[in-house]
Chain A
Amino acid sequence: MTDALNSTMKKSEILADGFWNNNTIFAQLLGMCPLLGVTTSAVNGFWMGAATTIVLLGSNTVVSMIRGVVPRDVRIPAYITVIAAFVTVIGMAMNAWVHEMYLILGLFIPLIVVNCAILGRAEAFASRNSLLDSMTDAVAVGLGFTFALMLLGSVREIFGYGTWFGFPVFGENYPDFLVFILPPGAFIALGFILAGVNIINRRRGVFTTAEPGCAPGKHAVQDA
């Protein structure tokens, strides 16, 4: 029944849902640890988002492929193994080819494993949908996550250091506005961003549909 329901979903719907309507950060408020931890600059936000997107694409793809094979009772350990493998691969790849970024994000890369947004997509979407839909979903959710991280990173970097992607915005003599770089600034900036997102959604006449915690989004039909 779930499959029948979801098969009527268009790709554009999946994309809009993952990127905006059901955005991991803006609507579901998941993945707060990397969000608040690494977004002291726009470029950090970009790389963290990119790493998460690749992990998501890998895990959604594999989970969708094995969805008929893995018994229900052991699906969570199986998914976590898949996710952990991809995270480790991404970590090693970044260490090899974007070494400087790896040194900055180092601590947060392994933590992608426990970003419950990723397990959430595996459980709520990839385990119930076709390969192509799952990959579409991964790209949409990943881009949405990256966008959110970059937005918060940009706000914090611009107000905190007066630069954007390392380039001065307010001239060379901008006094560092430290609160935006420190953790409280992340919460303050995120609050304003969420308020802005809500205003935009209200103007458009749509309301986000996310449920709290790791619960699946609106397209996951509960068995009960």
Chain B
Amino acid sequence: MGVRMSDSKKRTGKSQRGISRDMVMMVVALTLVTVIAATLLGLTDKVTREPILQAQREMLHRSLQQVLPVHTNSTLDETLKIKTADGIRTIYVARDAENKVLAFAWEVVAPDGYSGSIRILMGVLPDGAVYAVRITDHRETPGLGDGIVRNKPWLDFFSGKTADNVRWAVKKDGGDFDQFTGATITPRAVVKAVRKGLAFFAKNRALLLAKTVGK
């Protein structure tokens, strides 16, 4: 405290007219610190930008492997863009060695998770049945809602389901999908999002097949 008091005394003495030396020092010091910090951030951004994109691509690639049947093409490179009501949707196409279309995959977002959006990658066969579903990003409660990631049987239940061979709702709402103990909102949001994804497919199936089959 002693130092500070003498500081301020000195300042009132000096700063009656104009700017004191102390104040200049403060501005210089803070400016220097921020400039150095900004430089550091800029450099780091430069170094990490490529690896971050690479890591995201790898992540997507791994998720695609899980929602698509065994295929031989590079799904990340064969994509289709379809215009929908909420923007442009990217569709990944899986083909076998004879260039036959095996399945399509795309991402759907459930905006009504328990805490924020849930991003879901879904793979669908040309006949409209779900091949597999994986959660790629979520903020659900550990131990409750995160069952959508940890509960394998629950995720596997989606496989083989079409728009009309199952009731697309959790059991509490009269559907066929399990909810979890203490968590209904999360599975409900996922089921709804996947159902919407299938509706999107039904609407665009002819277009997708026309664009991919035989090409």
Q: Which residues of A contact B (CB under 8 A)?
A: 40, 66, 69-74, 77-78, 81-82, 84-85, 88-89, 92-93, 95-97, 99-100, 103, 107, 160, 176, 178, 181-182, 223-224
Contacts and interface: CB of A to CB of B under 8 A. Distances in A.
Contact of A89 (B44, B54, B58, B143): B44
B214 interface: no
A93 B55 contact: no
10 contacts: A66-B33, A71-B22, A71-B29, A74-B29, A81-B30, A92-B52, A99-B52, A178-B181, A223-B1, A224-B1
The 9 closest A-B pairs by CB, nearest first: A181-B143, A96-B51, A85-B37, A99-B55, A96-B48, A40-B142, A224-B1, A92-B48, A89-B44
Given A85-B37, A99-B55, A72 B139 contact: no
B40 interface: yes
Contacts of A84: 37
A96 B22 CA distance: 42
Given A99-B55, A103-B137, A182 B143 contact: yes
Q: Interface range on chain B: under 10, 10 to 19, 20 to 34, or 35 or more?
A: 35 or more
A14 B179 CA distance: 52
A181 B59 contact: no
Contact of A82 (B3, B37, B55): B37
Interface string B175-199: 0000001100000000000000000
Nearest to A104: B142
Given A71-B25, A99-B55, A181-B143, A89 B41 contact: yes
Contacts of B143: 40, 160, 176, 178, 181-182
Interface string B111-153: 0000000000000000000000000010101111000000000
B26 A93 contact: no
B26 A71 contact: yes
A92 B47 CA distance: 9
A182 B141 contact: yes
Contact of B44 (A70, A82, A88, A99): A88
Given A73-B7, A160-B143, A96 B29 contact: no
A176 B182 CA distance: 13
